[in-house]
Amino acid sequence: MKDNLIIGRYIPGNSIMHRFDPRLKLVGLIVMMLLVFAATTVATNIIMIVAVLALVLMSGISLGVFLKGLRPMIAIIIFTVALQILFTHTGDVIWSWGFLALTTGGLTNAAYIFVRFLLIIFLSTILTLTTQPLAITDAMESLLKPVKNIIPVHEIALMLSIALRFVPTLLEEAEKIMNAQRARGVDFSEGNIVQRVKAFIPVLIPLFISAFNRAYDLATAMEARGYRGGEGRSKYRLLHWENIDTIGAIVLVILTVVMIVL
């Protein structure tokens, strides 16, 4: 299970993407996602595909790792694309049966939706694979400093850091529980959807108990070490803006301008 999920996983490296400042990568992720949704023509979609593939190459990570991250989302992607194909009635009709119709507009929209899904998953995967979870939370805390008097920035960053940290741990725990249930004769692939959901109940209950126990132990450990929030705390890891980050920011601005013009 955990091998199919890329969220929260970091692959050490020394590529260009690894060396970028996490603040630039976080802002770049948001901007690139907005540009993906703004791409409504063939030309703009091709530009975004080329840009994302360039980022994949700059990460120094095999394309197979990114494709592996698509596995948990395949069912959602296929379902969404199928809805666009069958229920979008614009353009010329190619095939119809009752209220279902296959049109040129439906195929075009389905292709755009498919590309957007792939690009967004690739972009988020690039961020998590090339950036340590603590660096992501530090970047978020740094970017939200101007509003720290309005919202608890440090606490939000801490919750995000803990969540990212324990995603692989909880997946490993769930895999152990499922293996124990299989040893007792439970088959999670038999029956209809309702029966499969019921089969997961014996997994969810011990998983929730384990999660609450870990949360209690973590809270006790933090309290025993005198944790009192972010006010006046120093940091072991400091963020530094380098020349390579300036170049990356300039390229991002140029890409944004080109997309707006097109």
- pLDDT tens, 39-87? 888 899 999 999 999 999 999 888 888 887 777 778 888 888 888 777 7
Whether 24 has a pLDDT exceeding 90, the answer reads: yes
Question: What local confidence, expressed as pLDDT, does residue 8 receive?
Answer: 59
Phi, psi of 95 (to 5 degrees): -155, 145
Would you say residue 108 lies in a domain? yes
Question: What local confidence, expressed as pLDDT, does residue 145 receive?
Answer: 82
Rounded Cα distance, 262 and 155, in Å: 41
pLDDT above 90 coverage of the chain, percent? 22
Judged by DSSP in three states, 96 sits in strand
Would you say residue 22 lies in a domain? yes
Alpha carbon of 226 to those of 3, 131, 138, 215, 220: distances in Å? Answer: 36, 28, 20, 17, 10
Question: What local confidence, expressed as pLDDT, does residue 150 receive?
Answer: 82
Would you say residue 64 lies in a domain? yes
Would you say residue 243 lies in a domain? yes
Rounded Cα distance, 139 and 149, in Å: 18
Judged by DSSP in three states, 89 sits in coil
Dump the DSSP string for 221-240. HHHHTT---STT---SS---
Whether 224 has a pLDDT exceeding 80, the answer reads: yes
Would you say residue 114 lies in a domain? yes
Whether 152 has a pLDDT exceeding 70, the answer reads: yes
Would you say residue 208 lies in a domain? no
Which is more confident, 109 or 164? 109
Whether 1 has a pLDDT exceeding 60, the answer reads: no
Confidence of residue 12 (pLDDT cuts 50, 70, 90): confident
| Cβ proximity of 237 and 134 under 8 Å | yes
Return the bridge partners of 96, or none: 101
Domain count, the chain: 1
Judged by DSSP in three states, 187 sits in coil
Nearest Cα to Cα of residue 124 among 59, 39, 29, 55: 29
Beta strands in the chain (DSSP E): 93-97, 100-103
Domain boundaries, position 46: 2-131+238-261
Would you say residue 212 lies in a domain? no
Question: What local confidence, expressed as pLDDT, does residue 21 receive?
Answer: 92
| Cβ proximity of 88 and 113 under 8 Å | no
Question: What local confidence, expressed as pLDDT, does residue 6 receive?
Answer: 62
Residue showing tokens 């949360």? 215
How many other CB atoms are there within 10 angstroms of residue 260's CB atom?
A: 10
Rounded Cα distance, 33 and 27, in Å: 10
Chain-wide mean pLDDT for the chain?
83
Would you say residue 43 lies in a domain? yes
What average pLDDT does this structure show over 223-234? 74
Rounded Cα distance, 83 and 247, in Å: 41
Question: What local confidence, expressed as pLDDT, does residue 125 receive?
Answer: 87
Question: What local confidence, expressed as pLDDT, does residue 222 receive?
Answer: 84
